[in-house]
Structure formats: structure tokens, C-alpha cells
Structure 1
Amino acid sequence: MNPINRRTFLSQLTLATAAFSLPQYAFSASSMPADFVEVEITHGKIRGLRSEGVNIFKGIPYAGSVSGDHRFRRPAPLQSWTGVREALQLGAPAIQPPRRNEPAPAEDCLFLNVWTPANDNKKRPVMFYNHGGGFVIGSGGSASQDGTNLARNFDVVVVETNHRLGLLGFLYLDEIAGADYAGSGNMGLLDMVAGLKWVQENIAQFGGDPNNVMIWGESGGGAKTACLYAMPAAAPYFNKASIESGPGVRMTPKEIATETTAMLLKELNIAPKDWRKLLAVPAADLLNMQSKLPFVPPFIEKNKSVGFMRRNYGGFGPVVDGKILPHHPFDPAAPQISRNKPLLVGWNEDEYTFFAWERKDTEFATLDFAGLQQKLEPQYGPHTKKIIDTYRKARPNATAANIFIAVSSITMMGLGSVEIAEKKVKQQGAPVYLYNFGYKSEKKIPGTDYPMGTPHAMDISFKFNNEIPPRGGSAPKESFFGGNKPERFVASRNFAELWTTFARTGKPAAKNAPAWPAYNLQNRPTMRIDTKCEVINNRFSQELAMWRSIGKL
């Protein structure tokens, strides 16, 4: 293996890391008076806060210990408690580098948060969000995905979990550790299933409908959602799904997961027969070892020339083990188990500007077309000229930098999203709806005059309706990615209303948006979400035809 340090590892992560370490947003909880609220759930009573018209419960345990003897295994049974347990503070996130304004990461991390308008008997739709951060970082307590505004403004219940990540969540031991460790390569996913089971058993106490649950997520959370969409264990617990900028078409085959496990054991000087020594390795040491392996992206390409996936990747993410995850989520087809469950899928128009910002890449902004050819050739080889020619024809006014961003954005998150939509249509079951998020931030990538546009992860605060005018007459604060323009409040309202209506009815709709037709293979309607939403037929038709012709779609 080729060791890399954690800084390099995180900088190369082609997933959403924005929502996990960004400063607190303007919509953080205010100092308005709050009241305690108590509710009894399956394992005892809990106490949350009522603030600004929303009941908020944080740090609720939804399963037992996953440390010690339960490392790499199903959680221990959750023990009931007496008295009233405080649910006022976030629970520990999974093992990872420290997170801003959150508790210290810990192995025992199976906590969830709930936002609800009221703990009454009203059957509200439940929106079960899977956080981003790939499969290695993130939590259900990130500020940008605070569920307060969705709950208050759209009368829904929002649930978000912490779950095992990285090596502790996805180390494949099935072939060397025996029956007790069956499913070890997908423990992080099974944690989410445990969270969904908790929802089934408890959400009625929070004014939610256990029979109307939507799973959704962005970036790595989108890929997690794609996996849940294909998992028999998850099937009884949700009714619809949304995969956002994280098209999990394919996951890690068990053959490659086996190689990754072997590399890890070799690096730790542990013989396969002595694998139990892993149970005694400090979590901090495992995190350090994890950083020496490549990341697992949410969209693993298929190498058409050899008919199988590239073998130049490893790391820790969901494993196609034939049992917990029976097959790739959307390869060779959409999962039959979710045939009758409606689906939303799509991506942001300028995904790559996030990564340019994160990596301090300013060079792309000065490219001319000769430089663009040189920049793309290492990845696309003999196809490079055809790619550039296609984009120049389709976008005659585009600069070289514009084309670089467009190419990088669609290959990161767009092609997989289209593939999912097409395969879902071919299944001839429940509808699928394809979208592009397009609101343009005026903020510049530092060191350039190039605007962020619609970067990866900017959709999080918009779809959670966390881009809203401030209360009480105070001046609005600048959005981290979204900029200063007041129009962003309208775009956020549109996005949130489309998603909450989908959660409620299975069909996305909003007062100020046109009717959103289901995707089909004739006119391929795509909803572009902005201050003014519009349905665009056959969007990116020239570009997609080109990507198909070179085997990328």
C-alpha cells in the first residue's frame, strides 16, 4: 500500500466534507425561551426542549454498545433506564478527527436526534436523514442539517443518526472471523437499519407516522441511502428515498474488501488466524491505520474495457457481501426489493467548485483550452479531445475553466445519478424524479475570481430550509456557501417544499414550482431547482450522448 497522511487523505476525499466542519450558520438555535418536554419511549422516559415551536431531542440511544466484545459486530441490546434521561445534548459521533461544537468522537456512537412540531398523535411524514462525509466522517448533529426549520415550516418529523464509520463500520471479517461477525463489512449500514427500526417502534410518540418514512442523504449519505434502498434488512422500515449528490450505483466487492482486510492486518503485524487481536487495538490507532488507505467514493465507475470494476481502490465502505448487501445497489439493475418505492435523485450543477475550494486549487481558473487538454488527458486519454469538442459545441460561450468545472462535476455526481434514474425507469415500478440544483452563489473561490456557483454540499442548508430571513428584524448573516443575495431564501424554500411534499405524498411539488413529471426515457424531464424552478427536457443531451459513446455511462 502507499501510505498517505490524514491531511492528504481528507483533501482527496471526493465526498461532502462541508457539513461536518463548517462554522455555525446563521440559523443556529437562538436564545429565545425554551421549555422542557418529556416523552416515554420503548426503553424509558426522555426529556427534550421545546424551542421556537419545535420539540428537539438530542443524543437518544437507539442501540447498545459497539465497543469491546461488540466491535465489528451487531450492537449489544439497549438497556432500559429508570427516571428521565436527558436528551438535550448531542451524542458522541463515530470515531474520526474531532468535530466542531460536538462531543468527542467515541466507539459507542449509536445516538440519534429528533425534531418534531409536537409530541402528539398527528401522523406526520418522517424524514430519516443519512449524513454525508463519505463513509469516514460526519454526524447527525452537523449545524447545516439542523432539522428545526423543516419541522416547523413544513410539519414533518426529522430524524438523524450517528452510526459507525470507516474501519469500525466497514471492515470485512466474514471470511476469517466466523458466524458472530457475519455482516461485519456493513455494520455502519446495519446501524442505520437499527435507527430505522427505532423509528418504527417509537416515532408515533413524536407525532410521526411509522408507515410514512423517507430515507434521504447527500454525498456519502446519498450512497448510504442507495445501499439501504437495496437491503432486505431495511426494506420494512421506509417507503421512499432521495439520493442527493452521492449516486451509490456500485459498492466494494467482497474480493476487494478481503484484500483491504489483508492489507490492514499486514500493516498491524497481525496474522489472519490472530484476527481477534484487532479487538484490543485502540480506536485511535485504528483511525491512524485507516488514513493510510484510499477513500471509497460514493460512485465507483465500471471499467467497460474489462467488464469489471477497477481494482485500484480500497478503503472502508459498504461491501457487496451477498447477504446484508446482496448486490450492487443499482448494478446491473435497480433493486427489485424497492421496485414500488418512489425515488428522487440528482446533483448540483457545479459540484467541483467545492473541491477546488477545499484543495485550494486556483490553477483551473486560469486555464486556456490548450491547458484544459493537458489537465484532462491523464484521466481521459484519447477521449480528451472528443470531450472538449462536445462541451465547446454544447456551450459555445463557455471558457476553458467553465468546461473543466462542468466535466468534473458531471463525472463526479451526475453520470451516476442519470444511471440510477434510467435503471429505475426500466424497472417499470414506482416513479423516479431527476433534478439539478442550480442556485448560483456569488462567493468566489479564494485566490480566484471564479464564483462558487452551486458547489457540492451547498444543497444541504437549502433543502433543510436553513437559508431563511432572520427573525426579529436583525440583518441576515452571510451563508457559508450560499452568499449574501436574499434570493437564496426563495431557492431554499422551493427546495425544502419539494422534498417535504415528496416525503408526505411520494410526489415532489411546491407552490411556486411547475408540475414535476416523473423521469422517462423519451423526453427525460429534469427539474432545475432555483429561485424559479423549471422542468428541462433532455438536459445535457449532447454531453450525455458523448459520455455514453466512450463507455462512461
Structure 2
Amino acid sequence: MTSAAQPQPPPPVAHTRAGALRGTVTAPGPTAGSPGRPRTVAAFLGVPYLAPPTGPLRFASPRPHPPWDGIRPADRKPRAFVQPSAPAPVTAPIRAPIGTEDTVHANIWTPDIRGSRPVLVYIHGGGWQAGTAASPTFDGARLAAHGDLVVVTFNYRLGPFGFGLHEQLADPGTELCANWGLQDQIALVEWVRTTIAAFGGDPENITLCGTSAGGSSVWQLALLPRLRGAIRRIVPISAGHVWAPAYALEPADARTAFEALAGRLRVDVPGLRTVDAERLLTAWQDYFANAPDGHPVASGRGYRGPVVDGELVPAYDIHRPVPDLPALVVTTATEGSFYTAGALPHPCDDAELHTMVGAHLRMGGAGRSEQLVAETVAHYRACAREEGRGSDPVSLFAEIVGDSMFRHQIVRLAERGARESRAPRFLMHFEHAVRPPGFGTPHEATSPFLFGTHGLPQHREIFGDGPGERRLSATLMDLVASFAHTGVPRSEHAPEWPAFTPDGANTLRLGGAAGPQVAALPKAAQLRFWDSAGWHPAPVERAGAGG
């Protein structure tokens, strides 16, 4: 005789200042190392944290979302914010936009709406022009259950809607005229602090985490006086630290770009608020459609992130103090293979390699020196052969791109933080090798393991879903969750991990064939090359107190 089915618990209802929200209950399933049975998690999806930034609120500072009556369903992730239909290299053809402006919403996963758990706020990447919290990769159910955390993801304004500058777009209330996507992120942190208790979170224990452009945002938010006291710890992963000319428009170039955009669309600059969003984005893409060397302005050659505005972004990251907060800093072993795998000619010969390296150096403002190109290729080939790695042109170009655009800044700023901040730093070198057609450990390879989504169909063939990958995911979740709980990253699957110092053997190497180990930072010779080449930032011995 079979027993009667157990009645399902009613959907959870959270009561916020704006109104009540009805979520759903999900059982995320176990991860390797999770004790006991799988736990259920309450999910609140598509929660508006500010008024839709449309019409007169386009290019305006965030406004609170109007309250609502009754119980609002929170059972569907938001659509993507308006963006190109697929990520693509900066030289790719223009793609039709997708998404909508009315989607600046948050997702919350919590083990229980009762209690007071640490909060992990995750900021997605995408070069400040793409990406979404709706991605299955960033489903927070597994991380919330495994780490006993409240996990928050969210959309923010992207592309020309989120990052630019023009005084004619100044908000009458705040007088801010730039970096609207960064303003959304600020609003989200403030919303979490005032609202997260309704979801079982501790408003006094908020950790910011993000990858790529999101990792850069974590860094910038942690430096804002406005958010001092709101953020307890930070986890910048593969941060694309903002600098010009490659990653940001200079203020003058931003003004020029917005004025050119208005001219193309036959409006004045304030009139950009009235233009259809897809039409505006298409015109913006067309303005930057040429290869970086052919752009109509000198900066924003690769991406167009936060602009120095004198307020929210007083200077680029390398010229600012480091955040005086505990930090768990992550870089991957082969950041650049994210951009080169499948995007370069095969076979690629040395002549093509020299041409690509020259264009890359020019994009970063390093000039046209053929001597520097030759020295770069020779140094990386010698290092690869000495270390037993691939020395073919594609592998070398991936290493050059990843080190110059990511690892160098990440490591040098971590060294500065260890010297200048009172708060501890922990440095991780993530090195789980992906499967072909990818290679190495590319930029963004951490996200599927942090969220436990490496086994999803779109990830399984690249990242794997065997016992080793599940253990790796559990370890990474342990380390980040324990850091959010206590400020000290620990896992039963990893050795004790000391705080980072520039000259010590205290980097956690995670994901390699030898298993987790604390050791000296690998590939340090490649980073020293960028010091000698005059790349920024200067090594810690030569950096001033302000950078």
C-alpha cells in the first residue's frame, strides 16, 4: 500500500517596502561534498529594484520602483537588457539588438526567508555591453544551498544606455551625467541593504562578487564613499580593470560619440531619450563598427566601460587607492583564450602573429614599435618552451592577450592591496583546463563552477561534469561561501590558504591536475615583461601611495 504524497509547502511570500512578492521553491540537487540531503531553496525572480529607466528616465539616475498592491509574482527571470544579439569580437559585423530597457530587475535565492544569512551579490560581466542575470550559468540555487547564503544577481543598464558621459544628459536631481549602469549597481547595493532582511539575508554582511566587467564593478563600488559600510568583503574574478584607451572612452571622446550619435539619429543629445532603443543601439554599434585602429575616436577601442566623470569614477583603477576591504582575488591561467579560441586563422603563422600582436599593442596604447612586437613574441615563446606549454602562434597570442589585459593588472593591484590595505587579500590562480575547441583556462571559466552549473547541457562538453569537476565546483563554492561567512576562505578539499603577500608562496592554485595547492604565483616572468614594456600599472615597488 503506497503512502499518500506529502503536501507541497505553499510558495514563499516576502514582504518588502514596495510590496509583497510570491516566490517559488526549488530543490537544486546535491553538489560534491554537500552534507545530508539536498535542501530546498526559495527563489524570487524578476524583482524590480528600481523604476524602469525608459522614456524621460533613460540616461537618468535610478529612481525607486513604485509600490504595488497585493502580492506580485516573482517566478520568472527578467529578459536581458537591450544589447547585441550575441557576444562577438569588436571587429565582427553588427548584430541586431535583443532585449528591452524595462528589465532592470534582480533575482534572489535563499535557503529560508527567515533568519539572517550572509549575502553574496553577483555582478555579471560582458564588457559593459552584453550579458544578463537571466543566464542559466548564473542560477544561484546551488550556490545558495551549498554555501548557506542569500545569493543575488541582477541586470543593469549596458552599452550607450549604461556607460558614457554628456553634460546635456545631467540628471536634475543628482546632477550626474554619466555611468548610468554603475549608478544602477549602486542602487542595487543600497536596495539589498534595505530589503534583503525580507529574504532571510543579513544587511550588515554583504559580499560583492563579479566576473570580468562585473569584477571591475566590484572594485569600483568598493571605493565609493557612498557605499562605505554597506560592503563587507569583495570577490573580483578576472576583473577587467578600467583604463583607456582599450576599455573606456575618455570624457572628450564620450561627448564626441554622443553628439555624433545624436546627429546620425537627427535629434539633439537630450533627444536621444526619445529614440527607439534598438535603433539607438544599432547606430552606436555602427559608429564603432571598424577595427579598433579605425574607430572615429581614439579611446574605447575594445570596450566602452565606465568613463572618468569626476564623481563616481574620479580616475581609472590604476590611479586610485585599493579598496580597504578583505578581498578574494581570482585570475585564470589563460584569460586570453576566451577571446582567441575559434576566432583566429588556423593554421596561423608567425607573420600573422606579429600583425595581431602589433594591433593588440596599439589598441592598448603601446604605439607601433616593431621592436616591441618582436620582443613580446620572443619573450612569450621562450617562456612557453621553458615551461612546457604550447609555443604555436595561437597559444602565444592567447597568453599575450590574457596577461596584458587581465593578469598583469589583477596581480599588480593585488600586490598593491597587500602593501597598502589593512585588510587581508587572498589570490587564486584558477587553472581547470577546458576541452576542445577551447584550450587552457579561459576568462569566465570560473562562473560555471562557482554556481555549480558546469553540468548544464551548454557547458558539459567544454567544462566536464565528472567527479573531479563536481569536487572542483564544491571546493570553489566552499571557499567563496566561507569567505562571505567569516572572511577566511576554507574548504575541506583545499589546503589552508594564507593571506597573499607579493613575495610569498601563498597563491592558491585551484583546478590543476595536481589538485589544490598553495604555491608561488605561476608565470611571473610574463608579468615582469609587461613591467619592463611600460605597461600599466607599475609594479608595487614603483607605485606611489595613490597608484
Q: TM-score, normalised by structure 1?
A: 0.81
Q: Tell me the amino acid that sits aligned with residue 436 of structure 2.
A: K
**1:386 corresponding residue in structure 2:** 375
- With over 3 angstroms needed to count, the CA separation of the structure-2 counterparts of 1:485 and 1:383, relative to structure 1, is farther
Aligned to 1:497: 478
2:391 to 396, 400, 418: 400
Q: Determine the structure 2 residue equivalent to 1:11.
A: none
C-alpha distance in 2, partners of 1:522/1:452? 29
Q: CA, structure 1 residues 439+35, in 2 after alignment: closer, same or farther (shift >3 Å)?
A: farther
One-letter amino acid of the structure 1 residue matched with residue 474 of structure 2: R
1:203-222 matches, cutoff 5 A:
203-222=196-215
Q: 2:338 aligns with which of 348, 354, 358?
A: 354
- Give a deviation string over 1:314-348, Cα, whole Å, max 9, x none: 864212111122222x322434xx32x11122322
Q: Report the Cα offset of residue 435 of structure 1.
A: 1.7
Contact preservation (8 Å) 2:51, 2:66: yes
User: How far apart are the structure 2 equivalents of 1:378 and 1:317?
Assistant: 20
Deviations 1:290-336 (A, max 9, x none): 212449xxxx9xxxxxxxx96463864212111122222x322434x
The yes-or-no answer on 1:547 pairing with 2:536 is: no
The answer to whether structure 1 residue 224 and structure 2 residue 217 are counterparts is yes
CA distance in 2, matches of 1:203, 1:230: 22
Q: Distance in 2 between matches of 1:191 and 1:115?
A: 20
Aligned partner of 2:506 in structure 1 is: 525
- Structure-to-structure mapping, 1:105-504, within 5 angstroms: 105-121=99-115, 123-174=116-167, 177=170, 179-180=172-173, 182-250=175-243, 251-270=248-267, 274-294=268-288, 311=299, 313=301, 316-328=304-316, 330-335=317-322, 338-339=323-324, 341-357=325-341, 359=343, 361-363=344-346, 366-367=347-348, 372-373=353-354, 375-380=356-361, 381-396=370-385, 397-401=388-392, 402-441=395-434, 443-445=435-437, 451-467=438-454, 479-483=460-464, 485-504=466-485
**DSSP-derived class of the 2:442 partner:** coil
Structure 1 position 400, deviation (Å): 2.3
Q: Hey, what's the Cα distance between the residues in 2 that align with 1:502 and 1:325?
A: 27
- Return the offset for 1:485: 4.4
Q: CA RMSD in A?
A: 2.9
Aligned equivalents of 1:51, 1:463: Cα separation in 2: 19
SS in 1 for 2:226: coil
Cα distance 1:85–1:151, how it changes in 2: closer, same or farther (>3 A)? Answer: same
Tell whether the 8 Å contact from 2:339 to 2:398 is kept in structure 1 after alignment.
no
SS at match of 1:221: helix
Per-residue CA deviations over 1:99-150 (Å, capped at 9, x if unaligned) read 89xxx722222210000101112x2111101111111111111101100101
CA contact (8 A) 2:164 2:249 kept: no
State the shift of 1:537 in Å: 1.4
Counterpart of 2:13 (choices 21, 25, 38) is 38
5+ long unaligned stretches in structure 2 = 1-6, 28-39, 88-97, 362-369, 537-547
Letter in 2 for 1:483: G
Seen in structure 2, the aligned counterparts of structure 1 residues 452 and 344 have a Cα distance that, compared at 3 Å, is same
Q: What is the distance in 2 between the residues matched to 1:112 and 1:412?
A: 30
Match for residue 367 of structure 2? none
Contact 1:509–1:515 (CA under 8 A) maintained in structure 2? yes
Contact 1:434–1:519, Cα closer than 8 Å, also in 2: yes
Q: In the alignment, which of 36, 48, 59 is matched to residue 23 of structure 2? A: 48
Q: Relative to structure 1, is the Cα distance of residues 342 and 215 closer, same or farther in structure 2, using a 3 angstrom cutoff? A: same
SS in 1 for 2:286: coil
Q: Pick closer, same or farther for the CA change 1:193–1:373 going to 2, 3 Å.
A: closer
CA distance 1:314–1:462, shift in 2 (3 Å): closer
Instruction: State the Cα distance separating 1:194 from its structure 2 match.
Output: 1.2
- In structure 2, relative to structure 1, the CA distance for the partners of 1:538 and 1:484 (3 Å cut) is closer
Amino acid at match of 2:47: I
C-alpha distance in 1 between matches for 2:209 and 2:375: 36
Give the conservation status (yes or no) of the 8 Å contact 2:127–2:303: no
Which residue identity does 1:352 align to in structure 2? G
Cα deviation, residue 358, structure 1: 5.5
Residues 374/174 of structure 1: CA separation in 2 closer, same or farther (3 Å cut): closer
- Segment drifting more, 346-355 vs 154-163: 346-355
Q: Report the Cα distance in structure 2 between the residues aligned to 1:399 and 1:98, rounded to whole angstroms.
A: 34
State the alpha-carbon separation in 2 of the partners of residues 39 and 181 from structure 1.
Answer: 31
Q: Distance in 1 between matches of 2:175 and 2:379?
A: 48
For 1:439 and 1:229, locate their aligned partners in 2 and report how far apart those are by CA, in whole Å.
29
Distance, in Å, in 2 between the alignment partners of 1:311 and 1:165 is 18
Q: CA deviation at 1:188?
A: 0.7
Q: Distance in 1 between matches of 2:130 and 2:351?
A: 38
1:79 has 2:63 as partner? no
Report the equivalent of 2:35.
none
Could you list the runs of 5+ residues in structure 1 that have no partner in the other structure?
1-31, 301-308, 446-450, 471-475
Mapped contact 2:241–2:409 kept (Cα < 8 A) = yes
Measured at CA, do residues 408 and 171 of structure 1 come closer, stay the same or move farther in structure 2, by a change above 3 Å?
closer
2:490 to 490, 498, 509: 509
Instruction: Report deviation, 1:94.
Output: 1.5
Q: Equivalent residue of 1:502, what SS?
A: helix
The CA deviation at 1:379 is 4.0
* Aligned-partner SS, 1:213: strand
Letter in 2 for 1:414: R
Counterpart CA distance in 2 for 1:399 and 1:367 is 13
What is aligned with 1:70?
A: 57
* Range with greater deviation from structure 2 (227-236 or 163-172): 227-236
SS at structure 1 position matched to 2:377: helix
Q: 1:480 to 1:283 in 2, by over 3 A?
A: farther
* Equivalent pair of 2:120/2:208 in contact (CA under 8 Å): yes
Indicate how the Cα distance of structure 1 residues 276 and 408 shifts in structure 2: closer, same or farther if over 3 A, else same.
Answer: closer
Question: 1: distance between equivalents of 2:41 and 2:465?
Answer: 27
- CA spacing shift, 1:479–1:66, aligned 2, 3 Å: same
Q: Secondary structure of 1:50's match? A: strand
Quote the Cα distance in structure 2 between the aligned partners of 1:374 and 1:187: 37
**Residues 267/51 of structure 1: CA separation in 2 closer, same or farther (3 Å cut):** same
Q: How far 1:55 moved relative to its partner?
A: 0.2
Question: For 1:314 and 1:390, how far apart are their aligned partners in 2?
Answer: 25
Give 3-state SS (helix, strand or coil) of 1:214's partner: strand
